[in-house]
Structure 1
Amino acid sequence: MSETGTPEVDDWRVYRGTGLTAPEPVASLPSPPPWRTFAGQGTVERPSDDGGEGARRIGGRRRLPRVPDPHEVTMVNAALYLGRPLLVTGRPGTGKSSLAYLVAAELGLGPVLKWPISSRTELHDGLYLYDAIGRVQAARTSSGEEVDIGGYVRLGPLGTALLPFERPRVLLIDELDKSDIDLPNDLLNVFEDGEFEIPELVRLAKHQPTVTVYTHDRGGTAEVTDGRIRSRAFPVVIITSNGEREFPPAFMRRCLRLEMRPPTAEQLGMMVAAQFGDTSGLDVERLIREFLDRSEQVGGLATDQLLNAVHLAARLATSGAYEIDGEWGKLMTAIWHPLASLEPE
């Protein structure tokens, strides 16, 4: 019983949106439903260091927990429990991509695997790349020795995420709405089956069943058996979209959806603190108020535009230029330009 006399209820949430890095990985993650359980064999080691990418994305000077949106926390946990991709929508600059780094940091899931999407991106770009020309050129200078094909196969971010890791990796598929119209449909089988084949390795499987290939992680390698990669713990997939187009119903059926809301003044303040630490000497509250007012006037600004202003204010504070409202106001108008157009109002 709690102190108020009401029965205590176990908190079902694994992810809480604190923004704090876990000193150790979360002891246990929820088991997926039977239809989202995969049979990958073996264990691939994941790197523990992301080269500072997470700290750069979410701030490395955070002393207090961030203030999360309760709906964000609910939907991330639902995706963890169901083993389904989370489609994160919202206007630019609302922290859609950062969510992947927050989840990885809090749950101790290692470096985020990022797959940025463009209009020319195809499924095989995310799965693997095979340098056939490089292998042929190497064979010509190898004095008759057989050239190991594994040195010319590199798994993409999606392919790496599907390796049989003991704990799931976090995969960020960034700005999927920029893709060719076929890519969302091409992802369906991979999301459903949690596995794929590398045909170049399948053809060699009889006389070379195990091949060591490169992964998307810095300096990473993994063994591939019989040319097939099969997930053991399905990755935490976070897909971002700026809403530039709709996705097909078959794709949407396999995803959960989260609409990111613009951050509040309190959330912006904690974001500034996480990036800059001590901001004494700067009127951060005033900057945030002016940022929110400007954002409302122009139809929405990105949070990194606020961070740019704080960084510049910190640099100019010692010179006194920060106190000159006229000059500072013109500078902020230039930095806080509308996202839809660079033309002056």
Structure 2
Amino acid sequence: MNRVQHPVDNSPHGGPVSRSWWIYRGTGQPLPDIRLADVLPPPPGWRTFDGGPVMHGPLLVTGRPGIGKSTLAYLMARELGLGRVLHWGITSRSTLRSGLYEYDAIGRAQASLGRRPAAVPDAEDTAEAPPDGGTGAGIGDFVRLGPLGTALLPYELPRVLLIDELDKSDIDLPGDLLHVLENGSYDIPELVRPRHHESSARVFTDDPDTTVTVTDGRIRCRAFPFVVITSNGERQFPPAFLRRCVRLDVSPPREDQLATMIAAHFRDQEGRYDDMIRAFVERSRQSGGLATDQLLNAVFLRTAGIRKTTPP
């Protein structure tokens, strides 16, 4: 079995601590010569989800707006090779169902009526008529899985799901998420009802131009997704929800960290913008917080020759 090596760090007690068990190292670079399925730890007995590898609980990332909380999900997916990030942007109108799936009932009704034979069938014919009214379109053609619903499909490796700015949601949504996050499964009632004559349906997913087969209207994950939930700290979440999360508070970057960011994006500009960094940190302190990309944009403008002397 391949092993992922990580540098040895110093513990708060003064001694070196081996990080050889770390899988994600925060470099943002794909793991070389590593098959992720070989190094993921086994799940605990109560979180097996049919035997697949598992991540233990959602990661709740809090911090002021513009600090880079959402970026963590993309770094994770890129470094571990977990594919496209499934992004669920939360608004006050978001519901659990909208994250799981959408059903176009109007579209199905219009498709059925638009191609129904003109003659009115008798009662016996109606009993035998297909549910699509003879259009040839199955019910799955009118179902699309949302980001959360797609993340819970039975993949071999976990998908990365970003639930962005959950604190903007309706007050009930965090609680509604608990059942799905605990069970790793959900039903689509519109597919459960006709399962006796249409046991499987091909439905669209949140991934572009991708469909999957759903059997008996139930979806159950195999590898529980790596869920990153971001919050700007604008509200408190229920204790039952917080208990199920791994919590990470992202502090504003220090001057040396900002300098490292600028050096990474503008490789030939290292050390040239210390005055802008100091001005940015001071203005951020006075205004209650500025987004880091505002500094990067200011440096880009100066680099491009549009602004030469004025700090951000």
TM bucket normalised to smaller = 0.7 to 0.9
Aligned residues: 279
The corresponding residue for 1:278 is 267
1:278 is displaced (CA, Å) by 3.4
Question: Distance between the aligned counterparts of 1:277 and 1:322, measured in 2?
Answer: 16
Give yes or no for the alignment of 1:241 onto 2:241: no
TM-score w.r.t. length of structure 2: 0.82
SS of residue in 2 equivalent to 1:224:
strand
Cα pair 1:195 1:229 within 8 Å, conserved: yes
- Which residue of structure 2 lines up, in the alignment, with residue 142 of structure 1? 115
Report the CA distance between 1:172 and its aligned residue. 0.5
Contact 2:262 2:269 in 1 (8 A): no
Corresponding residue for 1:28?
Answer: 39
Deviation at 1:25, TM superposition (A): 5.5
Q: Distance in 2 between matches of 1:294 and 1:302?
A: 11
Distance, in Å, in 1 between the alignment partners of 2:227 and 2:158 is 10
Q: Is the 8 A contact 1:282 1:314 kept in 2?
A: no
The structure 1 residue matched to 2:220, chosen from 204, 221, 230, is 230
Asked whether 1:315 is paired with 2:296, we answer: no
Structure 1 distance, partners of 2:215, 2:93, is: 30
* C-alpha distance in 2 between matches for 1:11 and 1:146: 56
Partner of residue 306 from structure 1, selected from 260, 275, 295: 295
Cα 1:10–1:242 change in 2 (3 A) is closer
Aligned with residue 164 of structure 1, among 154, 157, 160: 154
Q: Out of 283, 290, 300, which is 2:279 matched to?
A: 290
Question: How far apart in 1 are the matches of 2:16 and 2:260?
Answer: 33
Deviations 1:169-225 (A, max 9, x none): 000101111111110110010000000000000011111111110000111111111
Instruction: Give the Cα separation in 1 of the matches to 2:88 and 2:76.
Output: 16
- 211-220 vs 278-287, which moves further: 278-287
Tell me, in whole angstroms, the C-alpha distance in 2 between the residues paired with 1:30 and 1:40. 12
Q: 1:82 to 1:136 in 2, by over 3 A?
A: closer
CA contact (8 A) 2:184 2:220 kept: yes
- The verdict on how the C-alpha distance between 1:168 and 1:110 changes in structure 2, with shifts beyond 3 A counting, is same
TM-score w.r.t. the length of structure 1 is 0.75
Alpha carbons of structure 1 residues 146 and 176: separation in structure 2 relative to 1, 3 Å: same
Q: Give the corresponding residue for 1:186.
A: 176
Query: Which letter maps to 1:15?
Result: Y
Go from structure 1 to structure 2 and tell me whether the alpha carbon gap of 1:268 and 1:30 turns closer, same or farther (over 3 Å shift): farther
What code does the residue aligned with 2:29 have?
Answer: L
The more displaced of 168-177 and 255-264 is: 255-264
CA displacement at 1:297 relative to structure 2: 2.6
Structure-2 separation of matches of 1:300 and 1:81: 36
Cα distance in 2 between the residues matched to 1:185 and 1:8: 38
Is the alpha carbon distance of 1:251 and 1:7 closer, same or farther for their aligned partners in structure 2, counting shifts above 3 Å? closer
Query: Which deviates further from its counterpart, 244-253 or 282-291?
Result: 282-291
Task: Extract unaligned runs of 5+ from structure 2.
Answer: 1-14, 117-133
Deviations 1:235-287 (A, max 9, x none): 0001111111111111111111111111223332333344x343449823332
SS at match of 1:223: strand
The C-alpha deviation readout for 1:86-117, integer Å capped at 9, x for no partner, is 11111112211111111111111111101011
Paired letter, 1:253:
R
Aligned-residue offset at 1:81: 7.1
Deviates more, 1:19-28 or 1:262-271: 19-28
Corresponding residue for 2:20? 11
Matched residues in 2 for 1:214 and 1:40: separation?
A: 25
Q: 2:201 aligned to 192, 211, 218, which one?
A: 211
Percent identical among aligned pairs is: 58
> 1:8 offset after TM fit, Å?
9.3
What one-letter code is carried by the residue in structure 2 that aligns with 1:33? Answer: P
Higher-Rg member (1/2): 2
Kindly provide the CA deviation profile for residues 49-107 of structure 1, in whole angstroms up to 9, marking residues without a partner as x: xxxxxxxxxxxxxxxxxxxxxxxxxxxxxxx9752001111111221111111111111
Letter in 2 for 1:135: R
Q: Which amino acid aligns with 1:124?
A: R
The superposition leaves residues 135-181 of structure 1 with CA deviations (integer Å, 9 ceiling, x where unpaired) of 11111233533421111100000000000011000001011111111
Distance in structure 2 (CA, Å) of the matches to 1:84 and 1:7: 28
1:243–1:280: structure 2 CA closer, same or farther, 3 Å change rule? closer
Match of 1:174 among 128, 146, 164: 164
Corresponding position of 1:72: none
Give, in angstroms, the shift of residue 299 of structure 1.
2.4
For structure 1, which segment, 10-19 or 150-159, has the greater mean C-alpha deviation from structure 2 after superposition?
Answer: 10-19
Alignment check: 8 A CA contact 1:114 1:157 kept: yes
Q: Conserved in 2, the CA contact under 8 Å of 1:40 and 1:230?
A: no
